[in-house]
């Protein structure tokens, strides 16, 4: 994995995290929190997709999709945990 692919995953994760924060307001972490959680999730899941899916999902499409899905999942997960601990 090259640095360009990782950057694409992180950016698409931040976009995915921000989008899910706007769509699911009850799980939003704020603008910056959504972007940070999304970026971290995008980087992690994007790397895992590249490792496990191998050549099935490769290139820019795999980087963008893996990053976005990772950003969405991690942002929602952190939002759910945040809501559970506040009650």
pLDDT tens figures, 3-57: 888 999 999 999 999 999 999 999 999 999 999 999 999 999 888 877 776 666 6
What mean pLDDT comes out for the span 60-69? 87
Residue pair 27/75 in contact (Cβ under 8 Å)? The answer is yes
Task: Give the pLDDT score at 63.
Answer: 85
Listed residue (80, 77, 58, 57) closest to 16, CA to CA = 77
């Amino acid at each position: 994995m090259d640095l360009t692919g990782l950057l694409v995953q992180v950016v698409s994760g931040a976009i995915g995290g921000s989008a899910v924060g706007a769509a699911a307001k009850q799980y939003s972490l704020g603008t910056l929190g959504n972007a940070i959680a999304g970026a971290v999730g995008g980087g992690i899941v994007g790397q895992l997709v590249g490792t496990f899916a191998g050549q099935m999902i490769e290139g820019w499409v795999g980087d963008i999709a893996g990053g976005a899905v990772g950003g969405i999942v991690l942002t929602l997960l952190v939002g759910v945990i945040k809501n559970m601990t506040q009650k």
